């Protein structure tokens, strides 16, 4: 996974200055701070976590130790269209696993990965609580209910067409 | 998910903190009562997360458009969810002279007919209706036309789908915060006694008597004391807490404030899953609105008592639903459960006395204080009082939330309320309690649902997830699925949990792949018992449950997988083959060929299609697209049973 470009690094540094100015130097703020960092950049860039560590008087590895414990925090970027497949019980029981495989095939990446052009990333997500619409896929903030392997192609063809229009 | 604030001018009313509770209530009632009595129709549209996923926001937009176009005056209330997931989007229309009518599965193209037909004219469009709504208004709502209403008692869900969760006046008008006002005049001991007398047991899964926990925390020495709400509903398949938080958040806040008053606590936290962004947003709105009315924050209702609540978002760790791990997470640490003693009521958050309870437990407190402990204790069984809320999902007709008095049988919940197994399939089992729970077969359907009876059967009530399985579900695969989840979520602290569950999973994977050995079954039982004994927290102690119960009640499925390399439910990929029956194949269509991702389907000289078993990846696409009138694609297990290739 390529490291951020110089321009991206500058953006991250600037962003972190803003974020840290709004948080106290209190270790119990670690998780909320990391959540804001992830919300801002889509992931936890290395230089960002280093800055969080020095802000809170912790070591780099201590911050990494906490961040890596939690599934939500990612260390590689999200795609422009972040695809998440619900892996809850209800979704699994009605074939969610087959949809996930279809997604891997269509996007040509494995779970946890991101396409070369950074357009699509693919992750599992723990149950989002819409079990009546299983199997459920989420792309960004949009929920796609009652997915099936055959529907996957159709959804992504439409998405790519919309992306071209934008 | 799209977060949208409804128009409420509560945010602007900062000057109201000098009002007494009676004045606040009067104002709320003055806003609520005319709503259905002033001759203007009211349209309630559910807008919780699952409603939105079904297209509820487009329905709202369409109503707004049609009302404007036809110049009809009506009030739209964006409510939370009633919990009838298979009927969403759900719309409830109240028009003077008519009962309230519920319309289900409403789409934007139905809206013009509803507006023109019912609101402009007098045709209630009964072809779209699910039934009429009775109750609400502070009493348990129900739809009398539906058979389920005979068995349900929507106590915790009393306001869900009926009020605007982003307008505190609705909650207050229907009796909200009356319990708080009453409790502020009670002593701490008085509050404890009332909760004890109600018989309330924790709704987070363990079922510990809430009154006893509160009494211990009251006695504990040390300040400050904290009140924490566990809203980290991590069980896959459970969404009860999500619905309560998105549809009636004030009920949870009120419960917390009452406990805080009893404990003289000044700070509370609600630990919410970050996978529930709408719940987080609605909680924050609810907190601000309660503060604006002096019901939360400094000097609550002029009594000098102050209590603040902060929403803390989780970061995707299931183990943080365990109370000690949750508290470490709030402290900014990894969520590792710790050894007890000391109990969290003595030394929890920052080693201070902490009262931690589940969302539904807190939502029960206003009911108990307002209506009295006797009322609550009059519902349910001798040892399990009140109601139980379940998220019924899986292969059942009526997927959604169910609330029944404790003691109702599984059969009633699944068949009378749930509408039975869908598509005419045969019931196989029901899984309760999420990954910590067990799978129970048909002979247990008469088991009453309460904390103790389910435990006897080897399952547990847990926090309320209930998944129904049919003949097409493989119990070995189900066990593997739950264990896979627990392995991923194990924090790693205890050797038996960390490595033992991995080993169990490895054995199960061998079984579903056709590499199982007869001694595997005994090995799973031994490992399972050892993991239970050697684990510190609930996750490890209950991880083997799905495997142990399926081994106990569905042994023949394990034996088929191991001894015959056969999956009776035709699920396990390595043990099944897809086959196109030549006599059924239409020969004139190419549906299956087109969707096969590995180009495994070719045409025989006699024009029916043939699957090359060496290329087939068992994705299931061909089965899905083969037109219903031909149904030519079948699954066969064991693979040795696949008929020989017809000669070209």
Q: Given B376, B403, B418, which residue is the final one in a domain? A: B376
Contact (Cβ atoms closer than 8 angstroms) between residue B251 and residue B282: no
Clarify whether residues A151 and A115 are in a common domain.
yes
Q: Domain for residue A72, yes or no?
A: no
Clarify whether residues A54 and A99 are in a common domain.
no
Clarify whether residues B102 and B211 are in a common domain.
no
Q: Domain for residue A93, yes or no?
A: yes
Clarify whether residues A26 and A55 are in a common domain.
yes
Clarify whether residues B143 and B266 are in a common domain.
no
Confidence bin at B10 (pLDDT 50/70/90): very low
Clarify whether residues A157 and A90 are in a common domain.
yes
Range of the domain at A98: 81-165
Q: Domain for residue B530, yes or no?
A: yes
Give Cβ neighbours of residue B102 (< 8 Å, ≥ 6 apart): B90, B91, B92, B129, B130, B131, B132, B133, B143
The DSSP H or E segment spanning B79 is strand B75-79
Q: Given B424, B446, B470, which residue is the final one in a domain? A: B470
Q: Given A24, A44, A67, which residue is the final one in a domain? A: A67
- Contact: B313, A35; criterion CB under 8 Å: yes
Helix axis angle for B555-563 and B520-534, nearest 10°, is 130
Question: A29: nearest CA in chain B?
Answer: B332
Please tell me the predicted confidence (pLDDT) of residue B11.
Answer: 38
Number of domains in chain B: 5
| Three-state secondary-structure class, residue B606 | coil
Contacts 24+ apart (CB under 8 A), B220-224: B220/B345, B220/B346, B220/B353, B221/B353, B222/B346, B222/B347, B222/B351, B222/B352, B222/B353, B223/B264, B223/B352, B223/B353, B224/B265, B224/B266, B224/B267, B224/B352
Please tell me the predicted confidence (pLDDT) of residue A2.
Answer: 54
Q: How far apart are CA B120 and CA B109, in angstroms?
A: 17
Residue B299 has pLDDT above 60, yes or no: yes
- Contact: B620, A27; criterion CB under 8 Å: no
Of the candidates B312, B331, B393, which has its C-beta nearest A132's C-beta?
B393
Question: B311: nearest CA in chain A?
Answer: A32
Q: Given A44, A67, A90, which residue is the final one in a domain? A: A67
Contacts 24+ apart (CB under 8 A), B602-610: B604/B646, B604/B648, B605/B648, B606/B582, B606/B646, B608/B580, B608/B582, B608/B632, B609/B580, B609/B585, B610/B580, B610/B645, B610/B646
Q: Domain for residue B259, yes or no?
A: yes
**Chain A residues in contact with B314 (beta carbon < 8 A):** 70, 72
In this predicted model, which residue has the larger pLDDT, B192 or A105?
A: B192
Clarify whether residues B46 and B105 are in a common domain.
yes
Residue B2 has pLDDT above 60, yes or no: no
Q: How far apart are CA A19 and CA A54, in angstroms?
A: 14
- Contact: A66, B391; criterion CB under 8 Å: no
Clarify whether residues B58 and B141 are in a common domain.
yes
Contact (Cβ atoms closer than 8 angstroms) between residue B272 and residue B312: yes
Please tell me the predicted confidence (pLDDT) of residue A90.
Answer: 77
Clarify whether residues B21 and B120 are in a common domain.
yes
User: For the CA atoms of B339, B340, B346, B352, what is the dihedral angle to 10 degrees?
Assistant: 10
Q: Domain for residue B5, yes or no?
A: no
Q: Domain for residue B8, yes or no?
A: no
CATH number for the domain including A36?
1.10.10
- Contact: A129, B49; criterion CB under 8 Å: yes
Clarify whether residues A45 and A101 are in a common domain.
no
Q: Domain for residue B321, yes or no?
A: yes
Clarify whether residues B318 and B466 are in a common domain.
no
Per-residue pLDDT tens over the stretch A129-159? 777 788 899 998 888 988 988 889 889 888 8
Per-residue pLDDT tens over the stretch B307-324? 999 999 999 999 999 999
Clarify whether residues A151 and A94 are in a common domain.
yes
Q: Domain for residue A74, yes or no?
A: no
- Contact: B49, A98; criterion CB under 8 Å: no
Distance from CA of B614 to the nearest CA of A (A): 18
- Eight-state DSSP code of residue B436: G
| Three-state secondary-structure class, residue A116 | coil
**Chain B residues in contact with A66 (beta carbon < 8 A):** 332-334
Reported ipTM: 0.84
Query: Most B CBs within 10 Å: which of A32, A59, A89, A147, as the mutation test of the B interface?
Result: A89
Backbone angles phi, psi at A142, to 5 degrees: -95, 135
Q: Domain for residue A73, yes or no?
A: no
Q: Domain for residue B261, yes or no?
A: yes
Clarify whether residues A91 and A51 are in a common domain.
no
Q: Where are the beta strands (DSSP E) in B360-475?
A: 387-394, 400-405, 427-432, 438-441, 465-470
Please tell me the predicted confidence (pLDDT) of residue B605.
Answer: 85
Per-residue pLDDT tens over the stretch B356-366? 999 999 999 99
Distance from CA of A55 to the nearest CA of B (A): 14
Clarify whether residues A53 and A86 are in a common domain.
no
Contact (Cβ atoms closer than 8 angstroms) between residue B466 and residue B431: yes
Contact (Cβ atoms closer than 8 angstroms) between residue B474 and residue B572: yes
Q: Domain for residue B169, yes or no?
A: yes
Clarify whether residues A42 and A103 are in a common domain.
no
Clarify whether residues A29 and A54 are in a common domain.
yes
Give Cβ neighbours of residue A155 (< 8 Å, ≥ 6 apart): A137, A144, A147
- Angle CA B516–B517–B523, to nearest 5: 100
Q: How far apart are CA B406 and CA B412, in angstroms?
A: 12
Residue identified by tokens 């009059």 is B378
Number of domains in chain A: 2
Range of the domain at B165: 14-173
Backbone angles phi, psi at B580, to 5 degrees: -100, 120
- Contact: A105, B50; criterion CB under 8 Å: no
Clarify whether residues A62 and A112 are in a common domain.
no
Query: Most B CBs within 10 Å: which of A66, A100, A132, A136, as the mutation test of the B interface?
Result: A132
Please tell me the predicted confidence (pLDDT) of residue B16.
Answer: 53
Q: Domain for residue A76, yes or no?
A: no
Q: Calculate mean pLDDT across residues B95-110.
A: 94
Query: Most B CBs within 10 Å: which of A127, A137, A153, as the mutation test of the B interface?
Result: A127
What's the whole-number average pLDDT of chain B? 92
């Amino acid at each position: 996974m390529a490291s951020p470009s110089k321009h991206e690094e500058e953006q991250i540094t600037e962003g972190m200055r803003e974020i840290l100015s709004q948080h106290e130097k209190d270790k119990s703020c670690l998780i909320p701070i990391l959540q804001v960092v992830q919300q801002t950049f889509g992931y936890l860039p290395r230089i960002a976590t280093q800055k969080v560590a020095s802000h809170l008087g912790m070591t780099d590895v201590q911050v990494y130790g906490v961040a890596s414990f939690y599934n939500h925090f990612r260390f590689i970027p999200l795609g422009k269209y972040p695809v998440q497949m619900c892996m809850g019980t209800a979704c699994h029981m009605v074939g969610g696993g087959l949809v996930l495989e279809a997604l891997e095939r269509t996007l040509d990446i494995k779970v946890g990965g991101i396409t070369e052009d950074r357009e699509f990333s693919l992750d599992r997500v723990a149950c989002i609580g819409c079990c009546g619409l299983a199997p459920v896929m989420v792309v960004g903030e949009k929920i796609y209910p009652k997915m099936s392997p055959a529907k996957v192609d159709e959804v992504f063809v439409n998405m790519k067409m919309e992306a071209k229009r934008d | 998910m799209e977060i949208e604030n409804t128009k409420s001018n509560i945010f602007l009313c900062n000057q109201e903190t000098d009002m007494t509770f009676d004045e606040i209530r009067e104002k709320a009632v003055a806003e609520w009562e005319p709503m259905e009595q002033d001759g203007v129709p009211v349209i309630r549209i559910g807008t919780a997360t699952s409603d939105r996923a079904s297209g509820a926001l487009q329905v709202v937009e369409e109503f707004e458009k049609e009302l404007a176009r036809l110049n009809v005056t009506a009030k739209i209330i964006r409510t939370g969810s009633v919990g009838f997931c298979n009927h969403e989007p759900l719309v409830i229309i109240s028009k003077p002279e008519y009962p309230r009518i519920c319309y289900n599965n409403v789409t934007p193209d139905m809206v013009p007919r509803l507006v023109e037909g019912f609101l402009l004219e007098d045709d209630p469009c009964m072809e779209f209706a699910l039934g009429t709504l009775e109750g609400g208004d502070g009493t348990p709502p129900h739809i009398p036309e539906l058979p389920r209403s005979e068995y349900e008692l929507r106590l915790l869900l009393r306001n869900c789908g009926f009020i605007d969760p982003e307008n505190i006046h609705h909650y207050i008008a229907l009796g909200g915060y009356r319990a708080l006002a009453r409790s502020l005049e009670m002593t701490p001991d008085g509050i404890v006694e009332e909760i004890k007398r109600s018989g309330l047991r924790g709704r987070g899964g363990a079922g510990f008597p809430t009154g006893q926990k509160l009494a211990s925390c009251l006695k504990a020495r040390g300040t400050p004391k904290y009140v924490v709400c566990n809203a980290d509903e991590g069980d896959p398949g459970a969404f009860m807490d999500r619905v309560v938080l998105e549809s009636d958040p004030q009920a949870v806040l009120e419960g917390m404030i009452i406990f805080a008053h009893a404990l003289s606590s000044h700070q509370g936290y609600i630990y919410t899953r970050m996978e529930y962004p709408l719940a987080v947003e609605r909680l924050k709105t609810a907190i601000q609105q309660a503060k604006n009315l002096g019901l939360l924050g400094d000097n609550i209702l002029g009594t000098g008592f102050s209590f603040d609540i902060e929403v803390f978002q989780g970061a995707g760790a299931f183990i943080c639903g365990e109370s000690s791990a949750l508290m470490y997470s709030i402290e900014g640490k990894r969520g590792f459960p710790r050894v007890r003693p000391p109990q969290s009521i003595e030394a929890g958050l920052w080693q201070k006395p902490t009262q931690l309870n589940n969302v539904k437990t807190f939502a029960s407190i206003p009911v108990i204080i307002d209506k009295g402990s006797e009322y609550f204790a009059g519902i349910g069984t001798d040892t399990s009082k009140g109601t139980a809320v379940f998220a019924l999902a899986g292969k059942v007709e009526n997927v959604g939330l169910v609330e029944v008095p404790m003691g109702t049988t599984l059969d009633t919940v699944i068949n009378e309320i749930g509408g039975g197994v869908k598509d005419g399939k045969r019931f196989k089992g029901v899984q309760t309690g999420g990954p910590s729970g067990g799978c129970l077969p048909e002979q247990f359907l008469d088991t009453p649902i309460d904390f103790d009876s389910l435990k006897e059967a080897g399952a547990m009530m847990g926090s309320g997830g209930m998944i129904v399985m049919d003949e097409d579900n493989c119990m070995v695969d189900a066990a593997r699925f739950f264990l896979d989840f627990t392995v991923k979520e194990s924090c790693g602290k205890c050797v038996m949990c960390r490595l033992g569950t991995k080993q169990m999973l490895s054995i199960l994977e061998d079984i579903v792949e056709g590499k199982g050995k007869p001694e595997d079954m005994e090995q799973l039982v031994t490992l399972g018992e050892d993991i239970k004994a050697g684990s510190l927290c609930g996750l490890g102690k209950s991880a083997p449950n799905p495997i142990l119960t399926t081994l106990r009640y569905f042994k023949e499925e394990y034996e088929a997988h191991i001894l015959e390399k056969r999956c009776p439910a035709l699920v396990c990929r390595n043990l099944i083959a897809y086959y196109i029956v030549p006599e059924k194949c239409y020969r004139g269509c190419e549906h299956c060929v087109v969707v096969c991702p590995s180009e495994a389907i070719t045409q025989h000289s006699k024009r029916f299609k043939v699957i090359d078993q060496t290329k087939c990846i068992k994705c299931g696409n061909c089965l899905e697209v083969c037109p219903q009138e031909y149904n030519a694609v079948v699954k066969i297990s064991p693979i040795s049973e696949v008929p020989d290739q017809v000669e070209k």
